[in-house]
Amino acid sequence: MSYYERHIFFCLNQRDSGENACAQHGAQAAFDHCKARVKAEGLAGKGGVRVNKAGCLDRCAGGPVAVVYPEAVWYSFVDSTDIDEIVESHLKKGEVVERLVLPDAVGR
Ligand code: FES
């Protein structure tokens, strides 16, 4: 059994050049909200869920993006309601939120 049941990584990348990056699209707020929700739901820690920052995940065109392991499901989200749904459905119950899944064709 792995140390965490699920691990979610949020791209928080920012580019000084002003080039498109997840940080311009509310990534930090989404990360903070997710972390708070996971803690409030008692999901954080060993055997539960870990919420981590990441640099560019090279799927910038779909930003802001996050990926959940071990299922390797990629999400693109808009607001805190989307994050709540990812926490409630996927991180808590393992049910993928299909409406937020990032299409495979979306890359950099
Ligand atoms: S800047 Fe977020 S995936 Fe590249």
- Residue 75's CATH number: 3.40.30.10
Query: How far, rounded to the nearest angstrom, does the alpha carbon of residue 27 sit from its chain's CA centroid?
Result: 9
CB 54 less than 6 A from any atom of ligand 1: no
Centre of ligand 1 to C-alpha 30, Å, is: 14
pLDDT, position 76: 98
* Structural domain harbouring 38: 6-100
Please, which residues bridge with residue 99 across strands? none
Angle in degrees, CA 98, 78, 60, rounded to 5: 85
Q: Alpha-carbon torsion 63, 68, 69, 70, what sign? A: negative
Task: Identify whether 91 is part of a domain.
Answer: yes
In this prediction, the residues of the chain whose per-residue pLDDT falls under 50 are none
Distances (CA, A) of 59 to 14, 39, 65: 13, 27, 7
pLDDT, position 83: 98
Task: Identify whether 108 is part of a domain.
Answer: no
CB 49 less than 6 A from any atom of ligand 1: no
Radius of gyration of the chain (CA): 13
pLDDT, position 1: 73
Q: Count how many domains the chain has.
A: 1
